[in-house]
Structure 1
Amino acid sequence: MNWRWIASNLDTIRDALIQHVQLTGLALLFGFLIAFPLALLAIRWPRLYTPSLALTGVLFTVPSLALFILLMPFTGLSMATSLIGLTIYTLLILFRNIVQGLRGVAPDVREAARALGYSRARQLFGVELPIALPVIVAGIRIAAVTIIGMVTVTALIGQGGLGRLFITGFTLDFTTPLVVGFVLSVALAVAVDLLLVALLYWLTPWQRGVRG
């Protein structure tokens, strides 16, 4: 490890880490905004579930670099290209877990909510989503860790966050940027995962006694 290089490039490392966090956060946000209504449609009309799952599954299997290359004629070497590609890779995980979480709500719970005069929206946001949260957050955790790893690939199109340190290391045949990028990527994945676990713990106080 060349600590002098690290000390002289702290601004570069910080900027790369910030961009990594931004790309990850935005991809998860946009992915959820697409997957959530799609999941609600699949719950409302079950016939939509299989084709939606198949479509998101096919998109997930497209190699990341190939997808970015396909997008480049339309969005160029921009953050939009990175975000579109990364968002696509969140859809399968988020869609599947949201549907599974909502389907896991017991029918008698829904019946009780309807008997109390809950509107459909109030039933969804006040009863079903809180119960489904553990499964939904589990999907977000998987998607987050997946995307943190995939962000590095976007360094090949001029983005990439910490992936730019990998490019620097490979280009210069220099180990230190590679190690720094790897360590920070792993640390970020662990930190985000723990943050989501803590968020779930805070949002579901009724689960604490069960877990204990």
Structure 2
Amino acid sequence: MKSVKGHLRNRLVKARKKSAGQANIWLFYSFKLDADVPIIGDLEMLYWVSELETQPQVRRFTMEHEVEISLEELGDSFEEITVTRVEHIDGSIEFHQVASKQHDSFEKVSVPVRYKIENRIEKSHLVVIPAARLKAFSKSSLSFWLKVIAFVSQVRGYDLRYEMGQVGTSISICGDGTIETLLESLSITDPALAVGAVCRSVLQGNIIVDGLRSFGRNTRWRTP
């Protein structure tokens, strides 16, 4: 049986920029990038929602990023692959690939790698996300998070410092509750701005929600 490294080595080939072909094409607003993000294919859409946009530890990301990496601890053997470059809020970098074929495993596989950047070599991890994990997310939580993202998209471009301050004060006082009681505690006249500020707080990780069923006024929240 081949090792995980052996399987990954077989996948490390130079990739072209993705072509749409017959795949669905999506266009979503990303709060993390403050820009519209074109996404090709259903699996990539599920990956973007579950592993990037809704993960508070992710600061920024670059899809279709080409990088030279090596699975070896030493040596000059590097291969160029296409990945999603993920920058975390702690400054660490990961490279992600989606395994498009269906596998039984739901767990992500993370392998240490070296990569070239400018004139130096740094260490990171290559993370492979299996299709089974993304399809399970689609059944359990996709509609919930798409609704949160949609509310955030509706207030794009707004300066919500006042509204975010209101939400921060309320969650520090209350500690937990429902979205309805949280909204009722806010001194914000425009309901769209209030909901948008709450949903921004969710994406930032200031509010923890269960991410199941449909997001709405009965959704429960708590502080981290």
Higher helix share: 1
If the length of structure 1 is used for normalisation, what is the TM-score?
0.23
Higher strand share: 2
If the length of structure 2 is used for normalisation, what is the TM-score?
0.22
